[in-house]
């Protein structure tokens, strides 16, 4: 990558190997279907998410209609229960996450001066998994009924005896599909941010939206696989008659909650951090000052991400885990408020002393500050476990999470829409309609949800299809319903604003807000390859620096000019992607390993039925294990030979690797067959369930690895590797070694413990 | 139910609930101050720093390390204080279970079973003596439920395979309303709880009555006598125990002293003869999804059974 002195250097990554050389490619009727352009994919995400927002919004309005009056029989309990389950699942997985990913997709490459994401075709696949997942979820309506176990699907309610329709199964399948897409996007974003930044754009200079998206992507890589593993186990229970989460079969119902919330709490930060990133772009632009405390906003984000994995059981205070556990999680949950508070104060510090223009985007950002703090403070009350013991599972909690997710994230997104719509479409949204949109939304939102704090305190539980005529319950619920319809009106105004402005809005120009980050250094909308020329980057505000080039009085960033700039290490995007993928797979396997350990090695479950010691042939498996470990060595030999350009030798070592891997798979297949013949199947007992799940998924990964190795071998033999492609083998090799490491863990825990 | 009490978390009627509402008040006060500070700062920015009266290019402040330290350490101090208060309130509001329970409450889809240590068995409506500290063990036979009476203390999940005991103590006579607070399926909304606190003597009398088997209706009451026979003939007895007769495990609410209770169907109807008849006539219409089947009873069977059940004082 060149570090040219002139401003005419091209956008980053000239060695990109995908189909971006062509200009006329993205026209025609299938252009949007076949696109790999991150900008179009971003818009596809946003439009599809808006569609699901309308679906989820109608579900919400039906819920509020049913709750407007006590003892209402407008909707049947079953219909209502499906509605609130679908509303929650839709809003989280089909609206908020895709919207944030859509904005990230569109703007991260622009903000870092890149031509596209690191892996454009992976990006397209990730998008298409989104409508597919949404379709799977909604197909359930025609297949016996939508899921009705709530968005967090607590067992045993969602096990077959209590949820006999297929709704829950479609819910699981949809989440698996959506989860794969999300992790793929996260890997893509991590690789893009780490390897495609324009020269001069260090991680200490990227816009905070990029920082937040980066940290969010790491959270996605680690948290979504946890959900995937949990729902896989639920599916095994439901479809293969296992009892992982059923106490009646020796399982543990609370294990579901531990797994789910280990995903669930990082998930809420996944939904919050990119929104924080948007706020961190909007407020400085309209306050005409840089963000206050950039390093602290970035560092507090990292702190939140780390802490978010340590607070999950605050969702389980009412379960009765014991005071030690409750107190520990109360402490960690209170701690996580501090970095969030740091951000709030830095945003206020940005506004303070500024010259604030209250455009619609800024209005939404200002309302965000107040509303998110209200939600955050009610969250603090929950961290104090005894208070949670009163108000959890009531409308107080519904109020809390809507304040942070709607009053917070959704308002930030609305700000982002008004801020970035001109860049995406070339036209400004109407400020007049924007003000109507804003005020209707503020009034409607606060009316809907503020009163719900009181309902919870008065004793109204959540997820009830109706309620008795107790004092104030009817009046407060009616007020909340009225507010919801005002919100619906606000959404209509937004839709109208977008529709009208797309055709008749004022032309925006490159930089209508006079902002300073790189997305504003190109046309609106940007050309296919994003930039005709990327401006030089010497600080956090490249356009400010360009405009104030000779202006010694205004420092660009607080760094002594004489300090030599450390050369950025050149990371290979394939290697970054594989390490991120390995991290996601490690999280997935961790859950399966925990399930195995919990039911077999912790002395918790009773010891009825087959066990590792009684049915496993350790010596035979040791032989196949030896083959698998040997294959890591032969693969390493192949890599070494490729580096020395000894392509023939590399291909031979690769062939031996594939053969050794195949021997392992044959060995595992014969082991499985032996077990089946002895009557040991997935559902026989919890040893069997956890054994087959853990080793089965490992076998699946070995299979995938073999396919990847065969593809590489084919390319090698076809002569594709004469052009410095050894990083591909290195990347696949890393994955293969990881699969071996997983087997090392499994072999030790399952087989060696059995023999010992 | 007309003159119902305001069952609020801030209307505690037990030492445990009081500990929680105190903590809640303290925490809300702190939150209110923080919220006011933040709102005040934002409002100040909105008023003082609007672009109209400000220079076009304001001073380009990057940050202030001292401020960052201050607004990290001050919240940390607040959090530490809150943590200490929390630890104290936990001990006060959820004392450890050190003996066998006085009442075992079992959650079912969608009703509550209550078994007293003395042997009394009832459903949905729990009587307690005023001022006595009772240990209540909460369990479930099917899915996760949650036992919650806000005026009397914390809620606790009824988890199958994972019982947990809480303290229940009412410091004044009265009726305290609660509800199942963990989504448990179709009729989660109608799994309400009534706790009636009575002076010790009245409670003792109530408990004695509960432990006595049901008396057969007097032969003079022809309707009720027919109803008693129909209760067996129509198979009601296979699910609903009466006076020690009936299923070994509790499949459906024990009806031995049904007539005394204030509600039917775990709160979905008030308990009077007309509503009881309506329930018998069309249980799925009143509480769709509940496990009581529609037995297609004739009008005469309904009135006989109502007459019989009304004798179960």
pLDDT digits (tens, 9 = 90+) for A293-339: 999 999 999 999 999 999 999 999 999 999 999 999 999 999 999 99
The tens digit of pLDDT for each residue in A112-134 reads 999 999 999 999 999 999 999 99
Asked whether the beta carbons of A694 and A750 are under 8 A apart, the reply is yes
| A196: phi then psi, degrees, rounded to nearest 5 | -115, 15
**Half-sphere exposure (CA, 13 Å, Cβ side) for B236?**
24
The tens digit of pLDDT for each residue in A738-751 reads 999 999 999 999 99
**Interval A371-394 mean pLDDT:** 97
Lowest mean pLDDT among A544-558, A703-717, B292-306: A544-558
Q: Which residues from B are below 8 Å from A475, CB to CB?
A: none
Lowest mean pLDDT among A21-25, A459-463, A612-616, A629-633: A21-25
pLDDT range class, residue A645, cuts 50, 70, 90: confident
> Would the CB atoms of B42 and A366 count as touching at under 8 Å?
yes
The predicted pLDDT at position A25 comes to: 53
Question: Distance between the two ends of chain B, CA-based, in angstroms?
Answer: 21
Q: Would you report the helix, strand and coil content of chain A in percent, each value rounded to 5?
A: 70, 0, 30
Q: Whose CA is closest to A53, among A495, A574, A385, A353?
A: A495
Within 10 angstroms of residue B8's Cβ, the number of other Cβ atoms is 17
- With H, G, I as helix, E, B as strand and everything else as coil, classify residue A24: coil
Q: Which residues from A are below 8 Å from B20, CB to CB?
A: 386-387, 389-390
Task: Break chain A into its structural domains and give their ranges.
Answer: 35-520, 595-755
The predicted pLDDT at position A719 comes to: 81
The predicted pLDDT at position A353 comes to: 96
* Radius of gyration of the CA atoms of chain A, in A: 27
Q: How far apart are CA A173 and CA A231, in angstroms?
A: 8
Closest CA of chain B from A353, distance in Å: 6
> Would the CB atoms of B187 and A351 count as touching at under 8 Å?
no
The predicted pLDDT at position B244 comes to: 74
| A611: phi then psi, degrees, rounded to nearest 5 | -135, 175
Better-scored residue on pLDDT, A300 or B216 = A300
**Interval A517-545 mean pLDDT:** 95
Tokens linked to B282: 């069309």
DSSP B126-172: EEEETT--EEEEEEESSS-EEEE-TTT---EEEBTTB-EEEEE--SS
HEC string of B54-73 equals: CCCCCCCCCCCHHHHHHHHH
Q: Quick one: residue A560, left, alpha or beta (phi over 0 = left, psi -120 to 50 = alpha)?
A: beta
Better-scored residue on pLDDT, B174 or B4 = B174
Does the CB of A341 have a partner CB in chain B at under 8 Å?
A: yes
Lowest mean pLDDT among A171-180, A222-231, A540-549: A540-549
The predicted pLDDT at position A561 comes to: 41
Give the nearest chain A residue to B55 (CA atoms).
Answer: A355
Residues 6+ apart with CB under 8 A from A117: A38, A105, A108, A109, A123, A188, A189, A192, A196
DSSP A535-588: PP-SSS-HHHHHHTTT-TTS-SSS--TTSPPPPPP---HHHHHHHHHHHHHHHH
Which of B42, B51, B179 has its CB closest to that of A357?
Answer: B51
Asked whether the beta carbons of B162 and B1 are under 8 A apart, the reply is no
Q: Whose CA is closest to A372, among B25, B72, B49, B39?
A: B39
- The Cα-based distances of A378 to A365, A408, B29 in angstroms read 20, 13, 12
**Half-sphere exposure (CA, 13 Å, Cβ side) for A581?**
23
Kindly report the average pLDDT of chain A as a whole number: 92
Residues 6+ apart with CB under 8 A from A521: A510, A511, A531, A534, A535, A542, A543
Q: How far apart are CA A704 and CA A182, in angstroms?
A: 20
Instruction: Indicate the fold that domain A595-755 takes in CATH.
Output: 1.20.120
DSSP H helices in A322-472: 323-335, 337-351, 360-383, 385-391, 395-402, 411-425, 431-457
Within 10 angstroms of residue A544's Cβ, the number of other Cβ atoms is 18
Q: Which residues from A are below 8 Å from B143, CB to CB?
A: 154, 156-157, 162
Q: Which residues from B are below 8 Å from A380, CB to CB?
A: 27, 31, 82
Beta bridge partner(s), residue B122: B114
Q: How far is CA B225 from the centre of its chain?
A: 35
Q: How far apart are CA A659 and CA A485, in angstroms?
A: 64
- With H, G, I as helix, E, B as strand and everything else as coil, classify residue A468: coil
Beta bridge partner(s), residue B135: B167
- The Cα-based distances of B109 to A149, A493, B112 in angstroms read 14, 44, 8
The predicted pLDDT at position A363 comes to: 98
Q: How far apart are CA A709 and CA A711, in angstroms?
A: 5
Q: Whose CA is closest to A353, among B58, B106, B192?
A: B58
The tens digit of pLDDT for each residue in B108-157 reads 999 999 999 999 999 999 999 999 999 999 999 999 999 999 999 999 99
- Going by the DSSP 8-state scheme, the letter that residue A428 receives in this structure is P
- With H, G, I as helix, E, B as strand and everything else as coil, classify residue A680: coil
Q: Whose CA is closest to B165, among B86, B94, B87?
A: B94
Q: How far apart are CA A579 and CA A734, in angstroms?
A: 8
**Interval A637-656 mean pLDDT:** 91
**Interval A547-564 mean pLDDT:** 55
Percent with pLDDT over 70 in chain B: 98
pLDDT at A18 over 50: no
pLDDT at A24 over 80: no
**Interval A673-701 mean pLDDT:** 96
The predicted pLDDT at position A20 comes to: 47
Burial zone of B201 (CB within 10 Å; 0-12 exposed, 13-18 middle, 19+ buried): exposed
Q: Is the preceding omega at residue A156 within 30 degrees of 0, hence cis?
A: yes
Kindly report the average pLDDT of chain B as a whole number: 93
Q: Whose CA is closest to A117, among A8, A1, A12, A3?
A: A12
Asked whether the beta carbons of B181 and A467 are under 8 A apart, the reply is no
| B170: phi then psi, degrees, rounded to nearest 5 | -100, 125
Q: Whose CA is closest to A151, among A178, A183, A132?
A: A178
> Would the CB atoms of B24 and A390 count as touching at under 8 Å?
yes
Percent with pLDDT over 70 in chain A: 92
**Interval B49-75 mean pLDDT:** 95
Angle formed by the axes of helices A167-195 and A97-111, nearest 10°: 10
Looking at chain A from residue 155 to 174, which residues have their Cβ under 8 Å from any Cβ of chain B? 156-157, 162
**Interval A226-236 mean pLDDT:** 98
Task: Tell me the pTM.
Answer: 0.94
Q: Is the preceding omega at residue A525 within 30 degrees of 0, hence cis?
A: yes
Closest CA of chain A from B118, distance in Å: 26
Give the nearest chain A residue to B66 (CA atoms).
Answer: A293
Asked whether the beta carbons of A266 and A304 are under 8 A apart, the reply is no
Burial zone of A659 (CB within 10 Å; 0-12 exposed, 13-18 middle, 19+ buried): middle
**Interval A382-411 mean pLDDT:** 98
Looking at chain A from residue 56 to 115, which residues have their Cβ under 8 Å from any Cβ of chain B? 76-78, 81
**Interval A177-204 mean pLDDT:** 97
pLDDT range class, residue B245, cuts 50, 70, 90: confident
**Interval A63-83 mean pLDDT:** 97
- The Cα-based distances of A30 to A25, A26, A34, A36, B127 in angstroms read 11, 8, 6, 12, 70
The tens digit of pLDDT for each residue in A586-604 reads 999 999 999 999 999 876 5
Lowest mean pLDDT among A4-8, A263-267, A394-398, A504-508: A4-8
Which of B156, B186, B189 has its CB closest to that of A320?
Answer: B156
pLDDT range class, residue A568, cuts 50, 70, 90: low
Looking at chain A from residue 575 to 634, which residues have their Cβ under 8 Å from any Cβ of chain B? none
- With H, G, I as helix, E, B as strand and everything else as coil, classify residue B196: strand
Instruction: Indicate the fold that domain A35-520 takes in CATH.
Output: Cytochrome C Oxidase; Chain A (1.20.210)
DSSP B252-273: S---TTGGG-SEEGGGTEE-SH
For strand B145-148 and strand B156-158, is the pairing parallel, antiparallel, or unpaired?
Answer: antiparallel
Looking at chain B from residue 196 to 255, which residues have their Cβ under 8 Å from any Cβ of chain A? none
**Interval B223-246 mean pLDDT:** 90
Looking at chain B from residue 146 to 185, which residues have their Cβ under 8 Å from any Cβ of chain A? 146, 148, 150, 153-157, 159-162, 164, 177-185
- With b meaning 16 or more CB within 10 Å and e meaning fewer, what string describes B35-53? beebeebbeebeeebebee
pLDDT at B247 over 90: no
């Amino acid at each position: 990558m060149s570090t040219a002195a002139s401003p005419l250097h091209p956008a980053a990554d000239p060695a990109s190997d995908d189909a971006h050389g062509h200009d006329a490619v993205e026209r025609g009727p299938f252009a949007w279907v076949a696109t790999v352009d991150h900008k179009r994919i971003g818009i596809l995400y946003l439009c599809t998410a808006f569609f699901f927002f309308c679906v989820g919004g109608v579900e919400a309005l039906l819920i509020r209609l049913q709750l407007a009056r006590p003892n209402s029989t407008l909707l049947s309990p079953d219909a209502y229960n499906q509605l609130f389950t679908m509303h929650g699942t839709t809003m989280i997985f089909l609206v908020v996450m895709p919207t944030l990913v859509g904005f990230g997709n569109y703007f991260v490459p622009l903000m870092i001066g890149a031509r596209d994401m690191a892996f454009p075709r992976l990006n397209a696949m990730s998008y298409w998994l989104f409508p597919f997942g949404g379709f799977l979820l909604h197909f359930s309506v025609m297949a016996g009924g939508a899921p009705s176990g709530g968005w967090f699907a607590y067992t045993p309610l969602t096990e077959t005896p209590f949820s006999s329709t297929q709704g829950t199964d479609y819910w699981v399948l949809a989440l698996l599909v959506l989860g794969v897409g999300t992790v793929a996007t996260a890997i893509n974003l991590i690789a893009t941010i780490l390897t495609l930044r324009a020269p001069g754009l260090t991680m200490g200079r990227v816009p905070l939206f990029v920082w937040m998206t980066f940290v969010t992507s790491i959270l996605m890589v680690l948290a979504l696989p946890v959900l995937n593993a949990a729902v896989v186990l639920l599916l095994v229970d439901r479809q293969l008659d296992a009892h992982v989460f059923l106490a009646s079969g020796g399982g543990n119902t609370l294990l579901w909650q531990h797994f789910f919330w280990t995903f669930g709490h990082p998930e809420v930060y996944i939904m919050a951090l990119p929104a924080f990133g948007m706020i961190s772009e909007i407020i400085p632009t309209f306050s005409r000052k840089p963000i206050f405390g950039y390093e602290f906003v970035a560092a507090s984000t990292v702190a939140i991400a780390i802490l978010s994995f340590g607070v999950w059981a605050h969702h389980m205070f009412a379960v009765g885990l014991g005071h030690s556990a409750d107190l520990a999680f109360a402490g960690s949950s209170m701690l996580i408020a501090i970095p969030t508070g740091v951000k709030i104060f830095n945003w206020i510090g940005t506004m303070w002393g500024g010259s604030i223009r209250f455009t619609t985007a800024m209005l939404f950002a200002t309302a965000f500050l107040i509303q998110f703090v209200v939600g955050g403070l009610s969250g603090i009350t929950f961290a104090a476990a005894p208070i949670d013991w009163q108000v959890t599972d009531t409308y107080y909690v519904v109020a809390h999470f809507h304040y942070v997710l709607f009053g917070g994230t959704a308002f930030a997104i609305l700000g982002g829409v008004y801020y970035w719509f001109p860049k995406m479409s070339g036209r400004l949204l109407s400020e007049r309609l924007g003000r109507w949109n804003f005020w209707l939304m503020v009034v409607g939102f606060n009316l809907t949800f503020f009163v719900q704090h009181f309902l919870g305190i008065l004793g109204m539980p959540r997820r009830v299809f109706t309620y008795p005529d107790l004092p104030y319950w009817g009046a407060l619920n009616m007020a909340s319903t009225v507010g919801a319809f005002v919100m619906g009106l606000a959404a209509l105004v937004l839709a109208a604003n977008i529709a009208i402005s797309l055709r008749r809005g004022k032309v925006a120009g490159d930089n209508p807000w006079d902002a300073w980050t790189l997305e504003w250094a190109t046309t609106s909308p940007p050309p296919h390859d994003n930039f005709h020329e990327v401006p030089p980057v010497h600080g956090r505000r490249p356009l400010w620096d360009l405009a104030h080039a000779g202006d010694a009085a205004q420092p660009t960033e607080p760094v002594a000019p004489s300090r030599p700039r450390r050369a950025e290490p050149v990371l290979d995007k394939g290697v970054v992607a594989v390490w991120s993928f390995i991290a996601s797979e490690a999280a997935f396997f961790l859950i399966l390993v925990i399930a195995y350990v919990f039911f077999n090695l912790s002395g918790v479950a009773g010891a009825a039925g087959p066990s590792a010691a009684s049915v496993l042939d350790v010596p035979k498996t040791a032989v196949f294990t030896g083959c698998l470990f040997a294959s890591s060595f032969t693969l390493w030999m192949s890599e070494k030979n490729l580096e020395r350009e000894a392509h023939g030798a590399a291909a031979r070592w690769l062939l031996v690797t594939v053969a050794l891997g195949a021997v392992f798979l044959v060995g595992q297949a014969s082991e499985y067959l032996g077990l089946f013949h002895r009557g040991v199947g997935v559902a026989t007992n919890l040893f069997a369930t956890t054994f087959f799940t853990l080793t089965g998924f490992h076998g699946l990964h070995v299979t995938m690895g073999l396919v990847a190795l065969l593809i590489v071998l084919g390319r090698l033999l076809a002569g594709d590797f004469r052009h410095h492609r050894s990083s591909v083998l290195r990347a696949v090799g890393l994955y293969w070694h990881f699969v071996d490491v997983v087997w090392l863990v499994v072999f030790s825990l399952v087989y060696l413990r059995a023999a010992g | 139910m007309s003159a119902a009490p305001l069952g609020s978390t801030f209307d505690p009627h037990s030492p445990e609930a009081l500990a929680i509402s105190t903590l809640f008040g303290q925490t809300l006060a702190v939150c209110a101050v923080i919220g006011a500070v933040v709102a005040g700062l934002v409002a100040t920015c909105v008023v003082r720093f609007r672009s109209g009266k400000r220079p076009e290019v304001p001073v380009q402040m990057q940050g202030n390390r001292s401020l960052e330290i201050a607004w990290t350490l001050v919240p940390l101090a607040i959090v530490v204080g809150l943590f200490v208060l929390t630890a104290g309130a936990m001990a006060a509001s959820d004392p450890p279970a050190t003996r066998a329970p006085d009442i075992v409450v079992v959650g079912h889809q969608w009703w509550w079973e209550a078994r007293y240590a003395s042997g009394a068995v009832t459903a949905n409506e729990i009587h307690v003596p005023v001022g006595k500290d009772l240990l209540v063990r909460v369990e479930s036979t099917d899915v996760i439920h949650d036992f919650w009476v806000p005026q009397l203390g914390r809620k606790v999940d009824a988890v199958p395979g994972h019982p947990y005991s809480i303290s229940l103590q009412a410091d004044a006579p009265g009726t305290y309303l609660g509800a199942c607070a963990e989504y448990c399926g179709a009729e989660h909304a109608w799994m309400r709880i009534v706790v009636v606190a009575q002076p010790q003597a009245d409670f003792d009398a109530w408990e004695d009555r509960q432990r006595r088997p049901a008396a057969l209706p007097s032969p003079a009451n022809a309707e009720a006598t027919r109803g008693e026979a129909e209760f067996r003939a129509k198979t009601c007895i296979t699910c609903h125990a009466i006076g020690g007769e009936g299923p070994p495990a509790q499949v459906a609410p024990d009806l031995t002293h049904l007539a005394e209770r204030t509600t039917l169907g775990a709160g979905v109807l008030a308990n009077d003869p007309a509503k009881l008849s309506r329930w018998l006539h069309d249980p799925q219409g009143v509480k769709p999804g509940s496990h009581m089947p529609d037995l297609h009873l004739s009008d005469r069977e309904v009135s006989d059974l109502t007459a019989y059940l009304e004798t179960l004082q």
